[in-house]
Structure 1
Amino acid sequence: CARTEGYYKIVKDEKIPRLKTSDDSQNSSMLPPAILDTNRTTGAQMSRELRSEHRRNLLALGDVEFADHFKFSQLKLRKKRLRYAKSSIHSWGLFACEPIAMEDMVIEYVGETIRQSIGDLREKKYELEGINSNYMFRVDSDTIVDATKCGNLARFINHSCDPNCYAKIIPVESQKKIVIYSKRDIRLGEEITYDYKFPLEEQKIPCCCGGPTCRGSLN
Protein backbone atom coordinates (compact mmCIF):
# COMPACT_ATOMS: atom_id res chain seq x y z
CA CYS A 1 0.00 0.00 0.00
CA ALA A 2 1.42 3.42 -0.98
CA ARG A 3 0.31 4.97 2.32
CA THR A 4 2.59 2.65 4.31
CA GLU A 5 5.71 3.30 2.20
CA GLY A 6 8.31 5.86 3.16
CA TYR A 7 9.46 8.72 0.90
CA TYR A 8 12.23 7.83 -1.51
CA LYS A 9 13.79 9.40 -4.60
CA ILE A 10 12.83 8.04 -8.06
CA VAL A 11 15.80 7.50 -10.36
CA LYS A 12 15.72 8.62 -14.00
CA ASP A 13 15.21 5.09 -15.43
CA GLU A 14 12.06 4.68 -13.32
CA LYS A 15 10.65 8.08 -14.30
CA ILE A 16 10.33 7.36 -18.05
CA PRO A 17 7.66 4.59 -17.90
CA ARG A 18 5.72 6.59 -15.31
CA LEU A 19 5.71 9.67 -17.52
CA LYS A 20 4.44 7.60 -20.47
CA THR A 21 1.60 6.21 -18.38
CA SER A 22 0.67 9.72 -17.28
CA ASP A 23 0.70 10.98 -20.89
CA ASP A 24 -1.54 8.11 -22.01
CA SER A 25 -4.11 8.84 -19.30
CA GLN A 26 -4.11 12.55 -20.19
CA ASN A 27 -4.59 11.76 -23.89
CA SER A 28 -7.55 9.50 -23.14
CA SER A 29 -9.15 12.17 -20.95
CA MET A 30 -8.88 14.65 -23.85
CA LEU A 31 -10.93 12.45 -26.20
CA PRO A 32 -14.33 13.83 -27.22
CA PRO A 33 -17.27 12.49 -25.14
CA ALA A 34 -18.79 10.78 -28.19
CA ILE A 35 -15.63 8.71 -28.72
CA LEU A 36 -15.42 7.88 -25.02
CA ASP A 37 -19.06 6.73 -25.03
CA THR A 38 -18.39 4.60 -28.12
CA ASN A 39 -15.39 3.03 -26.42
CA ARG A 40 -17.47 2.23 -23.33
CA THR A 41 -20.27 0.73 -25.43
CA THR A 42 -17.82 -1.33 -27.48
CA GLY A 43 -16.13 -2.54 -24.30
CA ALA A 44 -19.43 -3.60 -22.74
CA GLN A 45 -20.46 -5.38 -25.94
CA MET A 46 -17.14 -7.21 -26.12
CA SER A 47 -17.51 -8.20 -22.47
CA ARG A 48 -20.96 -9.68 -23.16
CA GLU A 49 -19.62 -11.51 -26.22
CA LEU A 50 -16.70 -12.94 -24.25
CA ARG A 51 -19.05 -14.16 -21.51
CA SER A 52 -21.31 -15.78 -24.11
CA GLU A 53 -18.34 -17.44 -25.80
CA HIS A 54 -17.12 -18.76 -22.45
CA ARG A 55 -20.56 -20.23 -21.74
CA ARG A 56 -20.65 -21.89 -25.17
CA ASN A 57 -17.17 -23.36 -24.60
CA LEU A 58 -18.23 -24.84 -21.27
CA LEU A 59 -21.29 -26.44 -22.86
CA ALA A 60 -19.20 -27.71 -25.79
CA LEU A 61 -16.86 -29.45 -23.35
CA GLY A 62 -19.86 -31.36 -22.02
CA ASP A 63 -19.49 -30.12 -18.44
CA VAL A 64 -23.10 -29.01 -18.21
CA GLU A 65 -23.28 -29.09 -14.41
CA PHE A 66 -20.16 -26.94 -14.07
CA ALA A 67 -21.53 -24.54 -16.68
CA ASP A 68 -24.79 -24.26 -14.71
CA HIS A 69 -22.89 -23.52 -11.51
CA PHE A 70 -20.79 -20.91 -13.28
CA LYS A 71 -23.81 -19.18 -14.80
CA PHE A 72 -25.75 -19.30 -11.52
CA SER A 73 -22.88 -17.60 -9.69
CA GLN A 74 -22.74 -14.98 -12.46
CA LEU A 75 -26.50 -14.45 -12.12
CA LYS A 76 -26.07 -13.79 -8.39
CA LEU A 77 -23.24 -11.34 -9.03
CA ARG A 78 -25.05 -9.45 -11.77
CA LYS A 79 -28.80 -9.85 -12.01
CA LYS A 80 -30.46 -9.22 -15.36
CA ARG A 81 -32.29 -5.91 -15.68
CA LEU A 82 -35.98 -6.86 -15.79
CA ARG A 83 -39.26 -5.09 -15.05
CA TYR A 84 -42.89 -6.06 -14.78
CA ALA A 85 -45.53 -4.23 -16.80
CA LYS A 86 -48.94 -4.74 -18.41
CA SER A 87 -48.87 -7.66 -20.83
CA SER A 88 -50.79 -8.32 -24.03
CA ILE A 89 -50.81 -12.02 -23.10
CA HIS A 90 -52.35 -11.83 -19.63
CA SER A 91 -52.53 -9.18 -16.91
CA TRP A 92 -48.92 -8.41 -15.90
CA GLY A 93 -45.77 -9.77 -17.51
CA LEU A 94 -42.00 -9.65 -17.16
CA PHE A 95 -39.95 -7.70 -19.71
CA ALA A 96 -36.24 -7.48 -20.56
CA CYS A 97 -34.59 -4.11 -19.90
CA GLU A 98 -31.43 -5.25 -21.70
CA PRO A 99 -30.57 -7.66 -24.54
CA ILE A 100 -30.18 -11.24 -23.29
CA ALA A 101 -28.04 -13.79 -25.13
CA MET A 102 -29.23 -17.29 -25.99
CA GLU A 103 -28.73 -19.96 -23.28
CA ASP A 104 -28.18 -17.32 -20.61
CA MET A 105 -29.68 -17.46 -17.13
CA VAL A 106 -32.44 -14.88 -16.91
CA ILE A 107 -33.79 -15.18 -13.37
CA GLU A 108 -34.23 -17.68 -10.57
CA TYR A 109 -37.80 -18.71 -9.74
CA VAL A 110 -38.10 -18.01 -6.01
CA GLY A 111 -40.86 -18.92 -3.58
CA GLU A 112 -41.72 -20.97 -0.51
CA THR A 113 -40.53 -24.58 -0.70
CA ILE A 114 -43.28 -26.97 0.43
CA ARG A 115 -44.17 -30.67 0.23
CA GLN A 116 -46.62 -32.10 -2.29
CA SER A 117 -49.24 -32.76 0.42
CA ILE A 118 -49.12 -29.12 1.54
CA GLY A 119 -49.31 -28.01 -2.08
CA ASP A 120 -52.52 -30.00 -2.61
CA LEU A 121 -54.12 -28.38 0.44
CA ARG A 122 -53.03 -24.90 -0.64
CA GLU A 123 -54.34 -25.39 -4.16
CA LYS A 124 -57.82 -26.16 -2.79
CA LYS A 125 -57.57 -23.22 -0.39
CA TYR A 126 -56.54 -20.84 -3.18
CA GLU A 127 -59.47 -22.01 -5.33
CA LEU A 128 -61.93 -21.28 -2.51
CA GLU A 129 -60.38 -17.82 -2.07
CA GLY A 130 -60.46 -17.16 -5.82
CA ILE A 131 -56.66 -17.00 -6.01
CA ASN A 132 -54.81 -18.28 -9.07
CA SER A 133 -52.64 -21.30 -8.23
CA ASN A 134 -50.46 -20.96 -11.35
CA TYR A 135 -47.58 -19.76 -9.18
CA MET A 136 -46.82 -23.28 -7.94
CA PHE A 137 -43.77 -24.84 -9.58
CA ARG A 138 -43.00 -28.53 -9.16
CA VAL A 139 -39.34 -29.32 -8.40
CA ASP A 140 -39.65 -33.10 -8.01
CA SER A 141 -42.22 -35.73 -7.00
CA ASP A 142 -42.53 -34.36 -3.45
CA THR A 143 -41.30 -30.76 -3.62
CA ILE A 144 -43.07 -27.63 -4.84
CA VAL A 145 -42.02 -23.98 -4.91
CA ASP A 146 -45.03 -21.79 -4.13
CA ALA A 147 -44.62 -18.17 -5.27
CA THR A 148 -48.30 -17.26 -4.79
CA LYS A 149 -47.70 -15.00 -1.79
CA CYS A 150 -43.92 -15.09 -1.47
CA GLY A 151 -41.71 -14.76 -4.55
CA ASN A 152 -39.76 -12.48 -6.87
CA LEU A 153 -40.24 -10.98 -10.35
CA ALA A 154 -40.19 -14.45 -11.91
CA ARG A 155 -43.78 -14.95 -10.75
CA PHE A 156 -44.87 -12.45 -13.43
CA ILE A 157 -43.57 -14.58 -16.33
CA ASN A 158 -46.47 -15.52 -18.60
CA HIS A 159 -47.00 -18.77 -20.48
CA SER A 160 -46.42 -19.01 -24.22
CA CYS A 161 -46.74 -21.97 -26.59
CA ASP A 162 -43.81 -20.44 -28.52
CA PRO A 163 -41.67 -19.17 -25.61
CA ASN A 164 -38.31 -17.41 -25.64
CA CYS A 165 -37.25 -19.10 -22.38
CA TYR A 166 -37.42 -22.45 -20.63
CA ALA A 167 -37.22 -23.58 -17.01
CA LYS A 168 -34.49 -25.86 -15.71
CA ILE A 169 -33.85 -27.35 -12.28
CA ILE A 170 -30.18 -27.34 -11.30
CA PRO A 171 -28.40 -28.58 -8.14
CA VAL A 172 -26.62 -25.83 -6.22
CA GLU A 173 -24.94 -26.67 -2.90
CA SER A 174 -27.21 -29.68 -2.21
CA GLN A 175 -30.31 -27.63 -3.06
CA LYS A 176 -32.45 -27.70 -6.19
CA LYS A 177 -32.88 -24.31 -7.86
CA ILE A 178 -35.43 -23.40 -10.53
CA VAL A 179 -33.78 -21.17 -13.12
CA ILE A 180 -35.23 -19.57 -16.23
CA TYR A 181 -32.92 -19.82 -19.28
CA SER A 182 -33.22 -18.01 -22.61
CA LYS A 183 -33.97 -20.30 -25.58
CA ARG A 184 -32.80 -17.67 -28.05
CA ASP A 185 -31.53 -14.09 -28.11
CA ILE A 186 -34.04 -11.79 -26.41
CA ARG A 187 -34.43 -8.20 -27.53
CA LEU A 188 -34.59 -5.15 -25.30
CA GLY A 189 -38.21 -4.63 -24.24
CA GLU A 190 -39.33 -8.15 -25.23
CA GLU A 191 -41.62 -10.04 -22.85
CA ILE A 192 -40.09 -13.04 -21.07
CA THR A 193 -42.16 -16.21 -21.54
CA TYR A 194 -41.88 -19.95 -21.03
CA ASP A 195 -44.10 -23.00 -21.47
CA TYR A 196 -45.86 -23.85 -18.18
CA LYS A 197 -46.28 -27.47 -19.36
CA PHE A 198 -49.34 -28.10 -17.21
CA PRO A 199 -50.61 -31.71 -17.17
CA LEU A 200 -53.54 -32.53 -19.44
CA GLU A 201 -56.95 -32.07 -17.80
CA GLU A 202 -60.55 -32.10 -18.96
CA GLN A 203 -61.21 -28.61 -17.59
CA LYS A 204 -59.09 -26.44 -19.88
CA ILE A 205 -57.35 -23.17 -19.03
CA PRO A 206 -57.52 -20.91 -22.12
CA CYS A 207 -54.21 -19.73 -23.58
CA CYS A 208 -53.92 -16.13 -24.77
CA CYS A 209 -50.30 -16.16 -25.99
CA GLY A 210 -51.37 -15.52 -29.60
CA GLY A 211 -48.37 -17.39 -30.96
CA PRO A 212 -48.37 -19.14 -34.36
CA THR A 213 -48.17 -22.52 -32.61
CA CYS A 214 -50.68 -21.74 -29.84
CA ARG A 215 -52.31 -24.91 -28.49
CA GLY A 216 -55.39 -23.03 -27.32
CA SER A 217 -55.01 -24.02 -23.67
CA LEU A 218 -52.37 -24.23 -20.96
CA ASN A 219 -53.37 -27.79 -20.12
Structure 2
Amino acid sequence: MVIEYVGQLIRQVIADMREQRYEEEGIGSSYLFRVDQDTIIDATKWGNLARFINHSCNPNCYAKIITVESQKKIVIYSRQPISVNEEITYDYKFPIEETKIPCLCGADSCRGSLN
Protein backbone atom coordinates (compact mmCIF):
# COMPACT_ATOMS: atom_id res chain seq x y z
CA MET A 1 0.00 0.00 0.00
CA VAL A 2 1.29 3.44 -0.95
CA ILE A 3 -1.54 5.81 0.04
CA GLU A 4 -5.31 6.03 0.37
CA TYR A 5 -7.12 8.46 -1.95
CA VAL A 6 -9.16 10.54 0.49
CA GLY A 7 -11.76 13.27 0.15
CA GLN A 8 -15.48 13.79 0.55
CA LEU A 9 -17.80 10.94 -0.42
CA ILE A 10 -20.51 12.39 -2.68
CA ARG A 11 -23.23 11.22 -5.06
CA GLN A 12 -23.08 11.64 -8.85
CA VAL A 13 -25.55 14.54 -8.93
CA ILE A 14 -23.41 16.46 -6.41
CA ALA A 15 -20.24 15.63 -8.36
CA ASP A 16 -21.80 17.05 -11.53
CA MET A 17 -22.77 20.25 -9.73
CA ARG A 18 -19.35 20.61 -8.11
CA GLU A 19 -17.50 20.02 -11.36
CA GLN A 20 -19.50 22.80 -13.00
CA ARG A 21 -18.95 25.10 -10.00
CA TYR A 22 -15.21 24.40 -9.99
CA GLU A 23 -15.05 25.39 -13.66
CA GLU A 24 -17.02 28.58 -12.99
CA GLU A 25 -14.72 29.45 -10.07
CA GLY A 26 -11.67 28.99 -12.27
CA ILE A 27 -10.35 25.97 -10.44
CA GLY A 28 -8.22 24.40 -13.16
CA SER A 29 -8.36 20.82 -11.93
CA SER A 30 -10.95 18.86 -10.05
CA TYR A 31 -10.06 15.61 -8.34
CA LEU A 32 -13.14 13.43 -8.63
CA PHE A 33 -12.53 9.67 -8.41
CA ARG A 34 -15.43 7.27 -9.00
CA VAL A 35 -15.81 4.53 -6.40
CA ASP A 36 -18.91 2.91 -7.91
CA GLN A 37 -22.08 3.83 -9.83
CA ASP A 38 -23.39 5.92 -6.94
CA THR A 39 -20.33 7.22 -5.12
CA ILE A 40 -17.47 9.56 -5.99
CA ILE A 41 -14.62 10.82 -3.83
CA ASP A 42 -14.07 14.54 -4.27
CA ALA A 43 -10.51 15.39 -3.22
CA THR A 44 -10.49 18.82 -4.90
CA LYS A 45 -10.58 20.85 -1.69
CA TRP A 46 -10.41 18.23 1.07
CA GLY A 47 -8.04 15.59 -0.26
CA ASN A 48 -4.54 14.41 0.50
CA LEU A 49 -1.40 14.03 -1.60
CA ALA A 50 -2.88 11.06 -3.50
CA ARG A 51 -4.82 13.52 -5.68
CA PHE A 52 -1.55 14.71 -7.20
CA ILE A 53 -0.43 11.29 -8.47
CA ASN A 54 -0.11 11.45 -12.25
CA HIS A 55 -1.41 9.08 -14.89
CA SER A 56 0.90 6.80 -16.87
CA CYS A 57 0.17 4.20 -19.53
CA ASN A 58 3.05 2.21 -17.95
CA PRO A 59 2.43 2.86 -14.24
CA ASN A 60 4.33 1.64 -11.20
CA CYS A 61 1.13 1.58 -9.10
CA TYR A 62 -2.54 0.74 -9.42
CA ALA A 63 -5.74 1.92 -7.72
CA LYS A 64 -7.99 -0.59 -6.01
CA ILE A 65 -11.36 -0.15 -4.35
CA ILE A 66 -11.52 -1.97 -1.03
CA THR A 67 -14.17 -2.20 1.68
CA VAL A 68 -13.31 -1.45 5.29
CA GLU A 69 -16.06 -1.78 7.89
CA SER A 70 -18.72 -1.57 5.12
CA GLN A 71 -17.23 1.65 3.67
CA LYS A 72 -15.61 1.64 0.22
CA LYS A 73 -12.19 3.24 -0.05
CA ILE A 74 -9.68 3.80 -2.85
CA VAL A 75 -6.14 2.68 -2.13
CA ILE A 76 -3.06 3.06 -4.32
CA TYR A 77 -0.78 0.00 -4.30
CA SER A 78 2.66 -0.43 -5.85
CA ARG A 79 3.17 -2.89 -8.70
CA GLN A 80 6.91 -3.07 -8.10
CA PRO A 81 9.60 -1.64 -5.84
CA ILE A 82 9.68 2.17 -6.14
CA SER A 83 13.01 3.97 -5.84
CA VAL A 84 13.61 7.15 -3.88
CA ASN A 85 12.68 10.16 -6.06
CA GLU A 86 10.85 7.94 -8.58
CA GLU A 87 7.51 9.41 -9.60
CA ILE A 88 4.47 7.46 -8.41
CA THR A 89 1.95 6.88 -11.22
CA TYR A 90 -1.14 4.82 -11.99
CA ASP A 91 -3.44 4.34 -14.98
CA TYR A 92 -6.50 6.58 -14.52
CA LYS A 93 -8.57 4.21 -16.72
CA PHE A 94 -10.96 6.98 -17.75
CA PRO A 95 -14.02 5.71 -19.67
CA ILE A 96 -13.77 5.81 -23.46
CA GLU A 97 -15.37 8.97 -24.82
CA GLU A 98 -15.52 10.60 -28.24
CA THR A 99 -13.57 13.68 -27.13
CA LYS A 100 -10.09 12.48 -26.26
CA ILE A 101 -7.92 13.84 -23.45
CA PRO A 102 -4.29 13.80 -24.67
CA CYS A 103 -1.85 11.72 -22.66
CA LEU A 104 1.59 13.19 -22.06
CA CYS A 105 3.04 10.37 -19.95
CA GLY A 106 5.91 9.68 -22.35
CA ALA A 107 5.82 5.90 -21.86
CA ASP A 108 6.94 3.73 -24.78
CA SER A 109 3.54 2.02 -24.57
CA CYS A 110 1.56 5.31 -24.36
CA ARG A 111 -1.99 4.99 -25.75
CA GLY A 112 -2.02 8.67 -26.71
CA SER A 113 -5.08 9.58 -24.62
CA LEU A 114 -6.37 9.15 -21.09
CA ASN A 115 -9.73 7.92 -22.37
TM-score (normalizing by structure 2) = 0.93
> What are the residue-to-residue correspondences of 1:67-216 with 2, within 5 Å?
105-131=1-27, 132-133=29-30, 135-216=31-112
Q: Distance in 1 between matches of 2:44 and 2:7?
A: 8
Q: Distance in 2 between matches of 1:122 and 1:215?
A: 29
- Aligned structure 1 segments of 4 or more residues deviating by more than 6 angstroms: none
Q: Secondary structure at the match of 1:206?
A: coil
Higher relative contact order (CA 8 A, sep 6+): 2
Q: Which runs of 5+ in 1 are unaligned?
A: 1-104
C-alpha displacement at 1:147, in angstroms? 0.4
C-alpha displacement at 1:202, in angstroms? 2.1
Task: Name the Cα RMSD after superposition.
Answer: 1.1
Aligned partner of 1:52 in structure 2 is none
Q: Distance in 2 between matches of 1:129 and 1:206?
A: 24
C-alpha displacement at 1:200, in angstroms? 1.4
Letter in 2 for 1:201: E
TM-score (normalizing by structure 1) = 0.50
Q: Distance in 1 between matches of 2:22 and 2:61?
A: 27
C-alpha displacement at 1:126, in angstroms? 2.0
Q: Distance in 1 between matches of 2:20 and 2:52?
A: 22
Structure with more strand by fraction: 2
Q: Which structure has the larger Rg? A: 1
Q: Secondary structure at the match of 1:170?
A: strand
Q: Secondary structure at the match of 1:191?
A: coil
C-alpha displacement at 1:206, in angstroms? 1.4
